[in-house]
Chain A
Amino acid sequence: MGYFSRFAVPHPSPAIYASMIAIAVTVFLIIAGITYFKKWIYLWDGWITTVDHKKIGIMYLISALLMLFRGGVDALMMRAQLAVPDNKLLDSQHYNEVFSTHGVIMVLFMAMPYIMGLMNFVVPLQIGARDVAFPRLNAVSFWLFFMGAMLFNLSFVIGGSPDAGWSSYFPLAGNEFSPHVGTNYYMISIQIAGIGTLMTGINFLTTILKMRAPGMTLMRMPMFTWASLTTCIIIIFAFPVLTIALLMGTMDRLFATKFFTITDGGMDMLWANLFWVWGHPEVYILILPAFGLFSEIIPTFSRRNIYGYTSMVASMVLISFYSFLVWTHHFFTMGQTAYVNSIFSITTMIIAIPTGIKIFNWLFTMWRGRIRFTVPMLYCLAFIPLFTIGGVTGVMLAMSAADYQYHNTMFLVAHFHNVIIPGVVFAVLGASTYYWPKMFGFVLNEKIGKLAFWFLVIGFCLAFFPMYITGLDGQARRMYTYSEDTGFGPWNMVATIGAVCMAISFVLIVYMIYYSIRNAKKEAVSDPWDARNLEWATHTPVPEYNFAIIPQVNSREAFWDAKYKGHPLFKGDYEKIHMPNNSGVPFLMSLFFFALGFGLVFSMWYLAICGLIGVFICMAHRSFEQDHGRYISVEEIKETEAKYGGTHK
C-alpha cells in the first residue's frame, strides 16, 4: 500500500469521492458506447489521426466547451460558498483548490483552446489556403494541449489539486508550503499545453505569412487574420518565458534547486516577475483574436465594411508590442520604489489608447450601417459598453498609488472578469454561433440563442458589478469566507444569483445545440449571413481541400466584391490537389508526453524516462519518415464539386 498512498487525495471530501465515481462511470459509458456503436475506427481515422485544420479546430472547440463546464462548476462552488457570511460549505483548503483550478482551467484550458479552435477553423479559409503550413505539427499542438488539460484535470482525484492560485506565487508554491503534488500538476500540465501553444504560434505565423491566396497583400487581409498574426507574434515572444519559469519552478519542486526560495540566494519575487512577463502578454493573446472576431461579425451584420481598417491594424500591431512593456502593474504593491511603479503606470495607461481607437472604429462601423440583431451581433453590441467599463477600471488599477487600495480585492476580480467575459467569452460564443453553419451545415436556433444571451449578460452584470463595490469596501479576493458585520453579505448574494443566471445560460446554450441538431433544416447553406470574406466563399460542409480552385483576391473584401461587384474569384481549371496524409504519431507522442508528465508529478522516474524516450522516438520517426502526402485527382474534385452544386465562379 505504501507505493499507492501517494495517489491518495490529501484533503478528501464526499464531493471528491462522488466525482471519482462519476468520472469512472462516464469513462466506462463512453468506452462502452463507442464499442457498442462500433465507432472506434471512425474515431481513429476521422478524428484522432486527422491533420485537417477544420477537424482540429472542431476538436479544440469541443474540449473548450467541456473545460468551460468544469471551470463553471468550480465557479458555482465558489459563489455558493461566498453567498452568505460565515458559510461552511467549503473549508479554506477546498476553497483554495477550487479557485486555483478555476483560474488555470478558464484561462489556459478554456479560453486558449477556444481561440485556437476558431483560429484553426477560420484562418486558412479566410486567406484562401488549403491547410496550415505544418499540418502535422498542428495535430501535435492540439494533442499536447489536450493531454495537458487531461493531466491537469486528473489532479483532483489523483494526488490532489494545486492550491496556490492560478498565478502560483512562490514561496507559497514551493515545497515547504505546498508539500503535496498539486503544484507539480500545475507546473507540468501547463508546460505541456504551453509547448503546444508555442507550436501553434509558429505554425500560424508561417501560414499567414506564406500561404495567402494570390493577390491578398498584407493590407488586404481580413481583420481576424490580422488579429491572429499579431497574436502569434505575442505567443512566440511571451511563451518561452513561461516555459523557462515553469521549468525553474519544476526544478525547485522536484530537484531542490533554489531559484525561487527565500534562502540560499534564491529570489521568490522572480517568479512573480517572470509569470507576469508572460502573463500580461497572455491577456492580450486572449483579447486580440476576440477583437478580430468582433471585427468580422460587426461589418457583416451592419452591411458595411470595417471603419478605419488601417488604424485597426496599426492599433493591433502597437498592442502586440506594448503588451510587453507593462507587466509590473500586476505587482505594484510588492516592494518597488514609487519611481519604478510610475514608469509602469504610464506604460499601462498608454496601452488603453489603441484599445480605445478600436472601440471607436467599431462604433463608426455600425453608425449608418443597417444593423441586423442576430445572436452574434447581440454579443458584439453588449461587448462594447461592458468591455469599456472593464477598460476604465483597468486604467483605475493602473494608477500605482491607487492600486494599493484595489490590489487583491474583489475590485480586481471584477476588473478582469469584466474584460475577459464581455471581451473573450462573448467573442467566442458569438463567433461560434456565427461560424456554426460553416462548421456543421445548419444555423443554430435564434430564439434559444437570444434567451441564452440575455441570461448571460444580465447574469454577468449581477455577478460582477457588486464585486466592484465590496472590493472598494475591502473584501479581499481568495478569502474563503467573511464575517457578518463586514456588510458584504447582501452584495455577495446578488453575485451568486448572477452566477446562477450564467449557469442557466450555459444550460440553454447546450440545449440550443441539442435542439438545433434535432430540428434545424439541414440544407447546405454556404453563406447564410451574407458575409464579406473568403471563408464563406466555399461550400458547406467545407470539402477537405477547402477550395477547388485557389481564389484570386484583388480587394479587401474579396467575397463581397465577388458577389456584388462581379469580381471573378475562381479563375482557371481544376488541377490535382496535394494534401497531407493523416498520422497517428502526434496522438502517440502526446500519450508519451502524458506519461512523462504523470511520472514527473509523482517523481516516478522510470515512467518519466520511458515517456521521454517515447517522445524522442516519435521525433526521430518523423525525421526519417518518407511521407510526401497524397494527391486528389481532378475526377475526384469534379465529383465532389458536383455533389455540392459546382464551384460558383
Chain B
Amino acid sequence: MKELFPAKQVGGFVFSLILTGVALLVYYFNMSRAVGLTILTLTAFIQAAVQLVVFMHAREIEDSKSVFTTIYYAIIIALVTIFGTLLCMIWGWNY
C-alpha cells in the first residue's frame, strides 16, 4: 500500500497550496509594502523550488547534477543582473 500512495507528490501539492494561501494573505490583509513584498518573494521562490524538485523530478534523473548546475548558474546570472541594475539605476545614480 505504501508504495502505491504517492506521499511525496500529495505532500508537495498540499504544501504548494499552502504557499499560495500565504501569498494571498498579502491581498486580504492590510500590511506594509515591505512586509507584503517579503512574503511574496519568499513564497514565490519556495514555490518554484517545490515545483522543480517534487513535480519536475529535478533530483530523480541520472544527470541531476547538470540540472542543478544550470539552475545555480541561472540564479547567479539573475542576481548579478538584478543587483547590477539596482546599483546603476538606483543606489549609484546621481541625477
User: Which residue numbers of A lie inside 8 Å of B, CB to CB?
Assistant: 209, 237, 241, 267, 269-270, 273, 277, 324-325, 327-328, 335-337, 339-340, 343
Contacts and interface: CB of A to CB of B under 8 A. Distances in A.
Contacts of B73: 237
B81 A337 contact: no
Contact of B77 (A267, A269, A324, A337): A324
A345 to B, nearest CB: 13
Interface centre among B77, B94, B95, by most chain A C-beta atoms within 10 angstroms, is: B77
B94 A337 contact: yes
Given A335-B93, A335-B94, A336-B93, A328 B74 contact: no
B49 interface: no
A327 B92 CA distance: 15
26 contacts: A209-B66, A237-B73, A237-B77, A241-B81, A267-B89, A269-B89, A270-B85, A270-B89, A273-B85, A273-B88, A273-B89, A277-B81, A277-B85, A325-B84, A328-B84, A335-B93, A335-B94, A335-B95, A336-B88, A337-B92, A337-B93, A337-B94, A339-B92, A340-B88, A340-B91, A340-B92
B62 to A, nearest CB: 12
A423 B87 CA distance: 32
Contacts of B93: 335-337
Contacts of A327: 84
Contact of B74 (A237, A325, A337, A343): A237
Q: What 7 pairs between A and B have smallest CB-CB spacing?
A: A340-B92, A335-B95, A337-B92, A336-B92, A237-B77, A335-B94, A336-B88
Interface in B55-90: 66, 73-74, 77, 80-81, 84-85, 87-89
Contact of A324 (B81, B87, B94, B95): B81
Contacts of B88: 273, 328, 336, 340
A432 B91 CA distance: 48
A324 B76 CA distance: 10
Contacts of B91: 340
Contacts of B77: 237, 324
B63 to A, nearest CB: 9
Nearest to A276: B88
A351 to B, nearest CB: 14
Contacts of B66: 209
A203 to B, nearest CB: 16
A330 to B, nearest CB: 11
Interface centre among B89, B93, B94, B95, by most chain A C-beta atoms within 10 angstroms, is: B89
B14 to A, nearest CB: 30
Contacts of A237: 73-74, 77
A407 B79 CA distance: 28
Contacts of A270: 85, 89
A340 B88 CA distance: 7
Contacts of A335: 93-95
A337 B88 CA distance: 8
Nearest to A281: B77
A401 to B, nearest CB: 15
A94 B92 CA distance: 37
A324 B66 CA distance: 21
A599 to B, nearest CB: 32
Nearest to B85: A273
Contacts of A241: 81
A371 to B, nearest CB: 39
Nearest to A233: B73
